Chain A
Amino acid sequence: MNINKVSTIEAIALILILTINRLSISLPQDIILSCGSSSILNVIYISIIAIIFTIIIVKLFKRFAGSDIVDVSSFLGGKVLRNIVGIFLILYIISISSLLLRYFSETLKVLYYFDTPVIYILLFFIGVCIISNIFGGHSIIKTNLIVCIIMLIGLIISFLSVTPNMTIQRALPILGYGADKTFFYGLTNLIAFNGLLILYLVPPMLSNKEDFKKVAIISIIITAILIVFAVGSVLLAFSFSTEIDKISSLYMLLSNNVFGKYLQHPESLFSFTWVLSFMSYINIACMLCIQLVKKVTNVKNGKPLIIPISLIIFALALLPKNLVYAHQIEYSLYTFVSIPLLFIILPAILIFANRKYKKIHRNNYDV
């Protein structure tokens, strides 16, 4: 199950899928609730920061072409740091994916499967995850590309379809709850770019290692555009002062939209694409965990790990009591773990590794 021939477009889809899923559940309303009418401004602001940050990450990885953050940690702090970073990343991916899975399953339950126990819905995702991972990483990545395209088309159609309901005045006052809320506290909305996690892991998977820069920048720009459109369409169609429903804002947006006499409520079709992309997301999360476990423990055969990791995700997804609880934990995890991890700890490892590299190769002219 070694993955080392991921094309540029497949790698971009890999990064996009992490963001796209959150668009369909909680991301737009989280941003709007925190910034009000200045959400679009805030999203543009954090997008610029994310793009600059991505460029810095690419620069930092330049000396370690074809290595991921675990390899870089190994170079910096030997086996100990490698294992610490590896285990931390495994725990992070498992917990985030299981919480998102629970949150999404609860959303589905509220929308369509009122009388169905959530465990029944979860089993579909876990079943697909196990089967997919048995078939291997290559097919997961290829499927993800197809699913990502379907999902993007669905999102673009849904954005376009709500344009007649948009009112520009809803973006006023332009600074929303104030400049500090938009530009300082609003920095926490950088969690929208949690797809950056893949950037730290994708370099060894690329078939052409030189494409890392291209993959990183293109995917972050597409992510930024999607977030701007998603937040914009929700904000301009609903008034931010009215309480946005806690259940998938994009779904509510579509269900309140009038599509005509013959196709009155096509939101189920869009939710079909969201389910697909979420399945792909869980597959990728499990695949990444297996890759990390293999790296940390030097295990050669990853197949026996599929069922245990899938079951851990399943068990963790069952822990939260309900939807609100799941969302709260997920939000806290993003705010208190994701931001420090993605924007402070991992870049710090890269900076120190670069310094060490310079020290070692001081006498070489090529540094």
Chain B
Amino acid sequence: MKENKKILKDMLSSSKQYLHKIFYEDETNSYDFTLPDTTNAIVADKSTNYSADNGTLNLDNETLQSADTSNDKVFQSLDVNLEYMKTRFNTLINSDIKIREFTLNARNKQYNAFLVYIDGMISQDIMNNYILKPLMLKNSANSYEGNQNRIVAEAKTNNITVRKVKKFNIIEYISNCLLPQNTVENRTKFDDIVADINSGSCALFIDTLDICFSIEVKGFERRGLTSPNNEIIVRGPQVGFTENLRTNTSLLRRYINNENLIIESINVGKLSKTSCAICYLKNVANTDLVSEVRYRLNNLGVDYLISSGQLEQLIQDSDLCSLPQMVSTERPDRAANLLYQGRVCIIVNGSPYVLIAPGILSDFLESPEDLNLKHQYSNFARVLRIVSAVIALLLPGVYIAITNFHQELIPTELLYAIISSREFVPFPILFEILVMEFSFELIREASLRVPSPIGPTIGIVGALILGQAAVEANIVSPILIIIVALTGICSFAVPDFSLSFHFRIMRFIYILLGAMAGFLGIAAGVCVHLIVICNMKSFGIYYLETNLFKKNNVGNGIILHPAFDREDRSGFLKTKRPKIQDEISMKWKYNKN
């Protein structure tokens, strides 16, 4: 008896605790990141100054971002130049910017020097054999000790010899004798030097010289680059990412000729140590967004990482919904475009697909071709894609709802046609549609798995022969074949593979809901679907951003504005540079500066 009382008491107290816990304690803290407003928006302040005193440069990257660098010239002090270049290129975090410090031999004298270049953009062979070797190793060219001045002209009058001499010039000497390259430019302005480095040259700085040698050593990866397999476009570049990380970063650098493109290296996987790169534009992307991406990548407790698809699942916000939450692209032009907008790219070594964060719903309905076409063409294609996405998702469900519950929607003649076509079909519509949809998915999956020459054959066999046979055997009605085929075609028009997959799964749910309660069931499905989508976040940004109606955004709306009217970056990205172009971008037309 006493024991029972004790048990009852314990139960009461534990239930009290439980009730207290659920009613009077905060909701359990789930990880929730919301992108805050940028704290350091870039404002070009031409008055920002910095000076080189006592061989040191009082400069940081933030100051540089807001300063006018167009008049910055090469300093005489090598240390100052080195510090300037390091700051300008963010070498502490930028993994593919290489600075090689060495001792240069010229006329038996030794000078401190350094080279700046971008790994992946230059030819290693040229760099080693034709730049570093002649400069560093002692040879007949740099050992020649000819300190005497060169006589240009000589004249003798009254035993007086007048000689016109040219003084020895180290710059000319290095350029003419030590750099066996076809294109060597002498640069004095840092902006020119940085532009050259970004386009694949290397910059040679030498102590005491206030000029820099810009040497062309371009050596992009050319062989092995193929056109993208799954993001095919008509008008636009036909090059895709490869499995090599450095090749991919160089592909990005080719599109973004700017020193603010930061490529950070991170290794993921306790055993595999897979090299990954986080790419972003330092003067555009929101710092908190970059930090969040870095934080998630740095905090992965996995043994190995094989592909970007695996990484996507490990760093996405929620696994509750099958919708893709990051853009996955194999096109460098698309990745570059999104980087310019203020997004962050993640490249995984060994994967030709680059991840871009954050991704919102409209990103997955966009085609990389949209920006290459006139806005009227793009908008037409976009509307077509949205309509086809809705059809791919809802058509079979709506068909079953109409035929079972809302027959009045169908014109009388068509209703008779449907009834007569189903006259000899013994199965209910739900069974018919499930069989056909399942067969269609089966054909699609089978044609992917078989060797490519047989793939189309399986499609034809499946679609034509099987469909025709099913109709003739009275297993399904002909109208259903049209419905399933139309749904299939529309699902192919969805540009993103993952989104298309999501629609394929959801379609079956809508079929069941339509069969259960007609439009009521479909409305319930749509409502819950919308709720889930509205609740989803991708790296702190709501998936269904409602600033779709905002004008002038780059490409986050349903309607793409004309190129001259795309003035603002997407507001939801909270970038450091809200404007993407001047208010009057076509200055040639309106004659405004």
Residue contact B520 to A300, C-beta cutoff 8 Å: no
Q: Tell yes or no: A113 within 8 A of B by CB.
A: yes
Q: How far is the CA of A247 from the CA of B380 in the complex (A)?
A: 41
Residue of B whose beta carbon sits closest to that of A300: B26
Residue contact A276 to B523, C-beta cutoff 8 Å: yes
Q: Tell yes or no: A184 within 8 A of B by CB.
A: no
Given contacts A143-B527, A146-B534, A280-B527, 6 further A-B contacts (CB under 8 A): A143-B530, A275-B519, A275-B520, A275-B523, A298-B24, A302-B27
Which B residues touch A271, using CB under 8 A?
519
Residue contact A138 to B534, C-beta cutoff 8 Å: yes
Residue contact A1 to B27, C-beta cutoff 8 Å: yes
Q: How far is the CA of A301 from the CA of B21 in the complex (A)?
A: 9
Q: Interface digits, A139-153 against B, CB 8 Å rule (1 contact, 0 not)?
A: 110110111000000
Q: B527 is contacted by which of A113, A120, A276 (Cβ under 8 Å)?
A: A276
- B residues 399-414 near A (Cβ < 8 Å) are 402, 405-406, 408-409, 411-412
Q: A113-B405, A265-B409 in contact; A108/B520 too (CB < 8 A)?
A: yes
Residue contact B524 to A266, C-beta cutoff 8 Å: no
- B residues 521-571 near A (Cβ < 8 Å) are 521-524, 526-528, 530-532, 534-535, 542, 544, 546
Residue contact A276 to B534, C-beta cutoff 8 Å: no
Residue contact A132 to B528, C-beta cutoff 8 Å: yes
Q: How far is the CA of A298 from the CA of B22 in the complex (A)?
A: 12
Task: Say which size band chain A's interface belongs to.
Answer: 35 or more
Q: Which A residues form the contact surface with B (CB < 8 A)? A: 1, 7, 9-10, 108, 112-113, 116, 120-121, 124-125, 127-128, 131-132, 135-136, 138-140, 142-143, 145-147, 255, 261-269, 271-272, 275-276, 279-280, 283, 297-304
Which B residues touch A125, using CB under 8 A?
524
Q: Tell yes or no: B342 within 8 A of A by CB.
A: no
Q: A112 is contacted by which of B26, B518, B527 (Cβ under 8 Å)?
A: B518
Residue contact A279 to B524, C-beta cutoff 8 Å: yes
Which B residues touch A265, using CB under 8 A?
408-409
Which B residues touch A7, using CB under 8 A?
546
Measured CB to CB, the closest approach of chain A to B138, in angstroms, equals: 70
- B residues 493-541 near A (Cβ < 8 Å) are 517-524, 526-528, 530-532, 534-535
Residue contact A268 to B519, C-beta cutoff 8 Å: yes
Q: B23 is contacted by which of A9, A275, A304 (Cβ under 8 Å)?
A: A304
Q: A127-B524, A275-B523 in contact; A132/B411 too (CB < 8 A)?
A: no
Residue contact A262 to B25, C-beta cutoff 8 Å: no
Q: How far is the CA of A366 from the CA of B405 in the complex (A)?
A: 64
Which A residues touch B25, using CB under 8 A?
300-301
Residue contact A269 to B409, C-beta cutoff 8 Å: yes
Q: Is the interface of A mostly helix, strand, loop or mixed?
A: helix
Residue contact B527 to A299, C-beta cutoff 8 Å: no
Which B residues touch A112, using CB under 8 A?
405-406, 518-520
Residue contact B409 to A301, C-beta cutoff 8 Å: no
Which A residues touch B409, using CB under 8 A?
263, 265-266, 268-269
Measured CB to CB, the closest approach of chain B to A268, in angstroms, equals: 4
Which A residues touch B26, using CB under 8 A?
300-301
* 16 A–B contacts, CB within 8 A, in A order: A1-B27, A112-B406, A116-B517, A121-B520, A135-B531, A140-B531, A143-B530, A146-B544, A264-B408, A266-B409, A267-B408, A269-B409, A280-B527, A283-B527, A298-B24, A300-B23
Q: A124 is contacted by which of B402, B406, B520, B534 (Cβ under 8 Å)?
A: B520
Which A residues touch B531, using CB under 8 A?
131-132, 135, 139-140, 143, 283
Which B residues touch A255, using CB under 8 A?
408
Q: A146 is contacted by which of B522, B528, B530 (Cβ under 8 Å)?
A: B530
Residue of B whose beta carbon sits closest to that of A129: B527
User: 10 nearest interchain CB pairs?
Assistant: A139-B535, A139-B534, A142-B534, A265-B408, A275-B523, A268-B406, A272-B519, A135-B535, A143-B530, A304-B22
Q: How far is the CA of A304 from the CA of B23 in the complex (A)?
A: 7
Q: How far is the CA of A124 from the CA of B520 in the complex (A)?
A: 8
Which B residues touch A9, using CB under 8 A?
546
Which A residues touch B527, using CB under 8 A?
128, 132, 143, 147, 276, 279-280, 283
Residue contact B411 to A131, C-beta cutoff 8 Å: no
Residue contact A261 to B520, C-beta cutoff 8 Å: no
Q: A132-B531, A139-B535, A266-B409 in contact; A276/B526 too (CB < 8 A)?
A: yes
Residue contact B530 to A128, C-beta cutoff 8 Å: no
Which B residues touch A145, using CB under 8 A?
546
Q: How far is the CA of A116 from the CA of B520 in the complex (A)?
A: 12
Q: How far is the CA of A116 from the CA of B544 in the complex (A)?
A: 36
Residue contact B22 to A136, C-beta cutoff 8 Å: no
Residue contact A143 to B534, C-beta cutoff 8 Å: yes
Most buried by A among B411, B520, B542: B520
